[in-house]
Structure 1
Amino acid sequence: MENFSGALSKRFTIVVLTHSYEELKTVIEEYIVYYNEYRIKESLGWLSPAQYRRKHLAA
C-alpha cells in the first residue's frame, strides 16, 4: 500500500487537475488498473502484480 500511495502521489503531483469528484474518481480508478495489471516490476520477475499473482495461484 505504501508503494502504491507513493507512486500515486508522484504521478498526480504533475498531472491531475480535475474539475469534479467523478473525474478524480475515474482518474484514480484508471491508475489502480494500470498499477495492478500493466506496471511490471523487476522484483516480480518482470511481471505485473496481477500476472505474478495469477502465475503463483496456478502453481
Structure 2
Amino acid sequence: TGSSVSRLARRVRPGSNPAPARSFKVEAKGEWLPGLSSPSYLNGSLPGDNGFDPLGLAEDPESLKW
C-alpha cells in the first residue's frame, strides 16, 4: 500500500506552472431583426436590454416603473 501511494503522489512546485492568460471578446449589440436596427427605446440603459423586445414591453417608460 505504501508503494501505491508513492506512485500516485506527485511533487508540485509553487509557481512552476502559471495559469494561462485569459481573454474575452466584446461584441456589438445584436440587431433587432436581421437587416433592421433596434428601436430607439432599446438603448442599453435598462437592465437586461439586449436589443430585443418583440412584445414592445419597454416602449412605454411609465409601464416600467415599480
TM class by shorter chain equals: under 0.3
- More helix, by proportion: 1
Q: TM-score, normalising length from structure 2?
A: 0.18
Q: TM-score, normalising length from structure 1?
A: 0.19
